[in-house]
Structure 1
Amino acid sequence: MLAIMSTKEKYQEEVDVLEDVLKENQIVLFNDDVNTFDHVINTLMYACDHTPEQAEQCSILVHYKGKCTVKTGPYDELESRCSMLLDAGLSAEIQ
């Protein structure tokens, strides 16, 4: 028996595949009352390859907003970067 896929089913399948391809994970850095701005900035430059300006902007966002996405990409690439942040005493997670 030949199965025929409706246009709607075919479109939904293409959307599902595209969403999986485009889905990027992100490292979210959370505010704490322990680490200094300098420590956060230096750690972001080291662990996430931020420029000094990017790192400073992220540290300010984290301080005032409570959290900030500091890096996006495939999970495999973010895992070691997030570990570096955690090892430096920062609060971060991959979402």
Structure 2
Amino acid sequence: MSWQFEEEELVDVLEDEQEDEGRTLVVFNDEVNSFDHVIETLVKVCKHERHQAEQCTYIIHFKGKCLVKKGTYDMLKPMREGIVDAGINAVIN
């Protein structure tokens, strides 16, 4: 009986880890920040190549938001903070 409990507990932990890896960092459009500012922020904070940052910025502008990075919460949290510190709205989903 003890063995079954341990197996169930292990499965729960693995599922939590898999869910955490599926987090996304989403950046939202605003009427304040310039294209160049958003591009430079994505390059600096998310380590995007300039071309990738430009594409994300156009998606943000035309669609209102863009998923700019996937990963764990712990990986995305400092990126979100860096983006928000730059005056750009971002969330982790």
Distance, in Å, in 2 between the alignment partners of 1:29 and 1:64 is 12
In structure 2, the gaps of 5 or more residues are none
TM-score normalised over the length of structure 1: 0.79
Partner of 1:39 in structure 2? 37
Distance, in Å, in 2 between the alignment partners of 1:22 and 1:46 is 27
Partner of 1:7 in structure 2? none
In structure 1, the gaps of 5 or more residues are 5-9
83, 86, 89: which one aligns with 1:85: 83
Q: CA deviation at 1:22?
A: 3.0
RMSD of the alignment, in Å? 2.3
TM-score normalised over the length of structure 2: 0.81
Partner of 2:25 in structure 1? 27
Choose between structure 1 and 2: higher helix proportion. Answer: 2
Distance, in Å, in 1 between the alignment partners of 2:89 and 2:80 is 9
